[in-house]
Structures are given as structure tokens and as C-alpha cells.
Amino acid sequence: MKTDTVRIDTVRIAEIIQEYSELDPMEAYYRSYEVPSKTLISFSCSTEDTIAGAMTTDSRVLDVGCGDGHTLINLSNLYQEGIGIDESAYIIEKASHAAAEAAINNVQFLRESAINLPFDNHSFDFIFSERGPLGLGDETLAEATRVLKPGGRIFIETMGSYFMQEYKSPDEPPSQDTLLTTLDVERERFRRFGIEPTILMSQTSTLQFESLYDWFANHCAIERYFENSLTEQSDETFIQSFVENASDEAGRLNLTEHLIWMGGVLGQ
């Protein structure tokens, strides 16, 4: 929808930038979930339920890019031992505290890198990564398959080709995914690493904001997570362009969430 130029409260924009600039990147990411918004989705399928279906009570499980550890904590009764890794000291402390608060003893959280996993070959029965570093990265997927047992299961959730498409200019050149979708790319990566895909899913939803400033707070949270400079985000041309691309008839701002889910079994 083509919109009239909106009046931007630059003082409020500066206050939001200041607030998020002072946060740890992972704290900023989790603060994004506190910003008022509504998720509109055409169908609902739980990632956690899919992950739970791949666990057995005797399995050793690895969560790569575990964040606050909620998945391992919520599913702790389904596996024998769980390990979550993340590069953020802040988030590992948060996850460890949450596990201790819940009195869960079969999980531990470690500050480690996905490209240099501190585990022996064939150590895990199941490895998963929710919007984590296994998606679209060959170096990390190679490490994951190294520590996964033959016949073990692996699951990734990553951003698809249309993720946050409202940020793209209409004049932006086509991406390399024009002919190959992200789903195709990930399926081919799995097969190159000896993983037979068993779950393939492309899910598109909409994150809707009633207020320009709610959207901007969410935007700054994500930019801080990626450690991008927030001082550039106050550019009025950028804000106006986003509002023009993302506004619906009621003046709400809509941001596309496109996720790819891929699961498979490592060859013997």
C-alpha cells in the first residue's frame, strides 16, 4: 500500500536507539519478544513438537545455538542427556540459571563455538538448531555431522528467502535464491553431507505491529543482536521506506516471517 509521508517523532526514535544500544546483544534479542506485536499465521505447526518426536529416553542430545535453553529444558524428560551450546556468555548464564531453577539435572549449557565443537566424533544421537548457526552454513553443518552418530537425527530451522522482505527495496537485484528456493538449498546441503532429508517444511507468517515505534524497537533489538550500529537506524528515509513497504489498509506494519524446517538422518 502506498502511504503518505508519516511524521516521525525523532526524539522517541533516539530514545529507543539509546535503550537498545546499552543492552547485551542476546539480551536485546530476547527483549524483542517483549515488544507488542501479533503473529498472523496461515497454519500452525510446533517446532518443539517436531523436535520432541526425534528424541528417545536413551538419547544424547545437542542444541547448537541454544539461546535461553527453553527447548532442552521443556523437553528434559524425553532424553537421557542434553547439552546446549552458544557463544554468548550472557545467554549461557541465563540458560544455566533457568535449568537450576527448574531442578533439571540432565542438561548442561556451555559457551562454545559451532565451528569448533569440543566433542568426540559420533557423540550424539540427535542434534538440532532453531534459527541457529547450522542453517545455511557448511562449516557448522560439517562439525555437526562429525559429532552425530551414524543413523542419528538432525533438525534445523532457518530463515527462508522471504524473511523480512519488507526491508528490501523494490529495485533490489534478484538474489541467488531466485531459481533455487532456500528449501532446495538446504535439502541439497543435507545430501552433500550424507543426510537423508525426512522433514521438509516452508512456513510463512506475519509479525504485525500496531505502532511505528513498536516496530522500531523490535528492529533495534534485532540489529543489536547482530551487533550492527544503531546510530544509522534513525535515518528517516529508511523508516519512511519501510512504512511504505509494510503498511496495510489499517495502517498497521506487517513484517514477513519465513522459516524453513529441515530434518534428516545421517547415513550409516
What HEC string does 60-123 produce?
EEEEECCCCCHHHHHCHHHCCEEEEEECCHHHHHHHHHHHHHCCCCCEEEEECCCCCCCCCCCC
> Do 6 and 240 contact (CB within 8 A), yes or no?
yes
Whether residue 254 has pLDDT greater than 70: yes
Residue that wins the pLDDT comparison between 232 and 53: 53
What CA–CA distances, in Å, run from 139 to 115, 135, 153? 6, 10, 18
Global confidence as pTM: 0.90
What's the confidence (pLDDT) of residue 172?
A: 63
> What is the tens place of the pLDDT at every residue in 88-115?
999 999 999 999 999 999 999 999 999 9
What's the confidence (pLDDT) of residue 174?
A: 55
What's the confidence (pLDDT) of residue 232?
A: 82
Residue 51, H or E segment: helix 47-52
> What is the tens place of the pLDDT at every residue in 205-241?
999 999 999 999 999 999 999 999 998 888 899 999 8
